[in-house]
């Protein structure tokens, strides 16, 4: 609450009354502080640096393993057997390039969405970059603004600051001149200015803000699941490598170089090295695609998270409706003088230096009375649902007024509420102008309020809102409209957009979480929701096992956005909402959300597909190594054979499949869903290949027998792997069919070209064993088809 001094100096640029002392730093003082390094120079990055990208892609556990094996093969085997090392180099290069492209996209978007605090220098207010703030700068703040540096309050006009993101306390703190403000908090009501006392890395929330704004590749179910799989693969490799090495070198007494080559040939395919690469590439390309649609993904897993969402909580104002409003009607009550009421409304609008959308519409509709002077003001608050002012009317009279929600200002049963209800049913927003006898500082100021007029406002519906809500309905994502406005009015707006369901007044919701969760299951539209209730409602939905996304643009949405699984902010929203949201729609288009959901589903669905390809290879490689050690026979493959198979049945197809469209809804339990296919598929491929190898060992004899045996085993393994690929590629489209056919054609090309036969040491001898290999592969493919169908029935995802 602030009393305004009539003699205060008025800034010609900024209309707020400014005390003569609060003109801010001079240009000379700013230059002096810059020279001393007293600048807010915290580097706010939306992504990793190039050096971090290179380190993250090069220095991985499996790159280290593969790198060591590659160096060994360069010394003990022909060039063909070290091809796998060059494939790793190419894959790593692709990963670095794609993430670098994503970084540039994010950095450019972050500049567009960067907050521009208003700083007063030489008595003039101007927006500057956060990094240009210097020690002692006078920073103006209003509703929704985030405190970017620590400071001391110089001016306070009903200034209320929410420090919950720092302290966990949800109640706003009323600030007065001289009070401290902390970076990381945000303004919920009123306005003012503070002097920066700590800038740069000294500010309280500097490190938190820097960390929160980074582009991250961690903390997602997808990546956690892949890490879990890779951890177990690492442990399996060690005993398998030892057993395989002993069987080749000691038991079979092969030459050292040949034993090493065969052992490495058994170890390398166990590593699903391309799986991590493809996950990073798929996410990075997702960021680039969304960036082209003016969607800033502040945390990478948000793409995945929104794809898993089954409930979207929508704030009406700014999400379903556009920010602006229009006054459509003024209805005086009890025979009030309309001319006088217009004068009151005009003065009320001008009394707030930072008007919200409703007041802006009133300012546009009603001119200010020049004779009236505001002596006391009460800024609008989401918790109160009203604002107010006291005026000296020029003739010696003083009057105090409140403007806000009729059902908050008036007692139940008041005749004005019936009229309000009828207007709300038409989807109109109604504000009540009421005269009060008490001081605005009085907590019971609304008691005895005398209704004077109803101000009818029409909200502008977003043209894309109906189609977006229809998309969510088709995708089985439930939409919940949560608004601070009147429930009937919100319900009417939702009905215009085609959203059906029960409308609930949130003031009647139970406070106990379990009971609230049950009520939320039944309702669709909720009105008169307080900021704390929004947060509680998100938690109640999550307690029922729902994955919740929250959209909003106002300061009253911040707490709910922070607690939701995915927070989505409009680019025109307050700085506080943009700071806590994982996704910012820079073009303010609600219609972008389906693109984000679709991108997440594409990433998760496709990575789940290709992960099966990679892990089938891991399973059959481990099994083959174990069987070879138990039967005490030569390992059937050299690295070159498995490099060829991996490239044609996994590497190239997986890259295309990982980037293909996919609208399948994301489902939980990634590891379980992948392994339920990979284990039976890998076991079947390993057993069939080993059977072919044993039969070939009995069939062939003499010089060159090992090459013939290897070729027959390779043919069986390739055909089974191709069938796995054919299953994974479903449902078929023209390009998927062409992809599978191209891989089969490439393998056939290797078999018929003499130089390639020699290069890959593959040559089918005779007709009996090759056709036997085909027959075994056909039987294995049929069993695999039946087996996977049984898995789908007995172990549903």
**Sequence-distant (≥ 6) Cβ neighbours of residue 395 within 8 angstroms:** none
Per DSSP, 132 falls in state G
What contacts 628, CB < 8 A, 6 or more positions away? 244, 247, 266, 634, 635, 636, 690
Q: Given 81, 258, 315, 563, which residue is catalytic?
A: 315
DSSP 179-203: -EE-BTBEEEEEEEEEEEEE-GGGS
How would you write 498-535 as a 3-class SS string? CCCCEEEEHHHCCCCHHHHHHHHHHEEEEECCCHHHHH
Interior CA angle at 186 toward 547 and 349, to 5°? 110
Cα 562 to Cα 25, 217, 532, 578, distances in angstroms:
35, 19, 12, 10
DSSP state of 379: E
Is 730:784 a contact under the CB 8 Å cutoff? no
Query: How many whole angstroms from its chain centre is CA 629?
Result: 47
**The CA-based dihedral angle spanning residues 728, 731, 733, 738, taken in that order and rounded to the nearest 10 degrees:** 30
Question: Cβ distance 578 to 558 under 8 Å?
Answer: no
- Rounded to a whole number of angstroms, the distance between the first and last alpha carbons of the chain is 57
Bridge-based pairing of strands 502-505 and 523-527 is parallel
Say whether 315 is catalytic. Answer: yes
Strand 173-174 relative to strand 150-162: parallel, antiparallel, unpaired? antiparallel
The HSE-up count of residue 643 (CA atoms within 13 Å, CB side) is 21
What are the start-end ranges of the E strands in 226-339?
295-297, 311-314, 321-332
Report the DSSP beta bridge partners of residue 401.
389, 435
Are 42 and 131 contacting, i.e. CB atoms less than 8 angstroms apart?
yes
Active site residues: 315
């Amino acid at each position: 609450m602030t009393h305004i001094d009539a003699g205060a100096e008025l800034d010609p640029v900024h209309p707020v009354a400014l005390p003569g002392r609060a003109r801010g730093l001079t240009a000379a003082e700013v230059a002096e502080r810059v020279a001393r390094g007293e600048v807010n120079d915290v580097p706010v990055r939306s992504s990793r640096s190039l050096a971090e990208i290179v380190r993250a892609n090069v220095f991985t556990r499996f790159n280290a393993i593969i790198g060591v094996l590659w160096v060994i093969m360069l010394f003990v085997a022909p060039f063909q057997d070290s091809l796998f090392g060059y494939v790793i180099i190419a894959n790593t290069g692709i990963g670095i390039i794609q993430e670098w492209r994503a970084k540039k996209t994010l950095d450019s978007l972050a500049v567009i969405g960067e907050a521009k605090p208003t700083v007063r220098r030489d008595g003039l207010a101007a927006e500057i970059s956060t990094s240009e703030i210097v020690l002692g700068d006078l920073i103006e703040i209003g509703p929704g603004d985030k405190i970017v540096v620590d400071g001391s309050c110089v001016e306070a006009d009903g200034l209320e600051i929410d420090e919950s993101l720092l302290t966990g306390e949800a109640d706003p703190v009323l600030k007065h001149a001289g009070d401290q403000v902390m970076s990381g908090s945000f303004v919920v009501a009123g306005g003012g200015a503070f002097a920066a006392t700590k800038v740069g890395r000294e500010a309280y929330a500097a490190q938190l803000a820097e960390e929160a704004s980074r582009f991250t590749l961690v903390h997602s179910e997808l990546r956690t699941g892949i890490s879990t799989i890779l951890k177990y693969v690492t442990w399996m490799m060690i005993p398998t490598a030892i057993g395989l090495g002993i069987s080749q070198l000691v038991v079979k007494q092969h030459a050292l170089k040949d034993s090493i080559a065969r052992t490495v040939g058994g170890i390398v395919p166990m590593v699903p090295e391309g799986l991590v690469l493809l996950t990073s590439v798929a996410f990075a390309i997702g960021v680039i695609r969304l960036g082209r649609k003016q969607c800033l993904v502040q945390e990478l897993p948000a793409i995945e998270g929104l794809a898993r969402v089954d409930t979207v909580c929508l704030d009406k104002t700014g999400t379903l409706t556009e920010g602006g409003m229009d006054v459509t009607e003024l209805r005086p009550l009890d025979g009030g003088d309309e001319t006088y009421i217009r004068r009151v409304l005009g003065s009320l609008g001008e009394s707030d230096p930072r008007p919200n959308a409703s007041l802006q519409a009133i300012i546009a509709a009603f001119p200010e009375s020049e004779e009236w002077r505001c002596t006391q003001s009460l800024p609008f608050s989401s918790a109160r649902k009203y604002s107010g002012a006291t005026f000296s009317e020029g003739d010696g009279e003083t009057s105090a007024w409140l403007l806000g929600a009729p059902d908050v200002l008036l007692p139940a049963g008041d005749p004005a509420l019936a009229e309000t209800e009828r207007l709300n049913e038409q989807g109109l927003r109604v504000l009540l102008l009421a005269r009060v006898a008490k001081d605005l500082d009085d907590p019971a100021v609304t008691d005895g309020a005398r209704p004077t007029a109803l101000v009818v406002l029409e909200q502008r519906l977003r043209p894309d809102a109906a189609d977006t809500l229809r998309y969510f309905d088709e995708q089985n994502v439930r939409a919940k409209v949560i608004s601070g406005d009147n429930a009937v009015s919100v319900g009417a707006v939702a009905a215009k957009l085609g959203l059906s369901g029960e409308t609930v007044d949130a003031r009647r919701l139970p406070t106990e979480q379990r009971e609230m969760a049950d009520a939320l299951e039944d309702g669709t539209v909720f009105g008169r929701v307080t900021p704390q209730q929004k947060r509680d409602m998100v938690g109640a939905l999550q307690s029922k096992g729902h994955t919740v996304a929250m959209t909003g643009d106002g300061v009253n949405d911040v707490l709910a956005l922070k607690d939701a699984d995915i927070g989505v902010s409009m680019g025109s929203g307050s700085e506080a909402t943009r700071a806590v949201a994982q996704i910012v729609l820079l073009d303010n288009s609600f219609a972008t959300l389906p693109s984000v959901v679709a991108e997440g589903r594409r990433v998760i669905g496709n990575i789940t597909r290709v992960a099966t390809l990679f892990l089938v290879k891991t399973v059959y490689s481990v099994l083959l190594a174990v069987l070879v050690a138990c039967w005490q026979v030569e390992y059937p493959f050299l690295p070159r054979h498995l490099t060829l198979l991996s490239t044609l049945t996994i590497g190239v197809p997986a890259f295309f499949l990982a980037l293909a469209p996919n609208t399948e809804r994301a489902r939980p339990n990634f590891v379980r869903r992948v392994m339920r296919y990979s284990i039976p598929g890998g076991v079947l491929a390993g057993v069939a290949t080993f059977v072919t190898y044993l039969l070939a060992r009995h069939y062939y004899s003499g010089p060159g027998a090992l090459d013939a045996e290897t070729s027959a085993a390779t043919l069986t393994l390739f055909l089974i792997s191709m069938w796995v690929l054919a299953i994974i590629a479903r449902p078929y489209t023209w390009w998927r069919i062409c992809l599978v056919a191209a891989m089969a054609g490439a393998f056939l090309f290797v078999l018929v070209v003499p130089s390639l036969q020699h290069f890959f040491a593959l040559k089918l001898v005779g007709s009996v064993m090759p056709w036997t290999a085909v027959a075994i592969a056909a039987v294995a493919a049929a069993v695999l088809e039946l087996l996977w169908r049984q898995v789908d029935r007995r172990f549903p995802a």
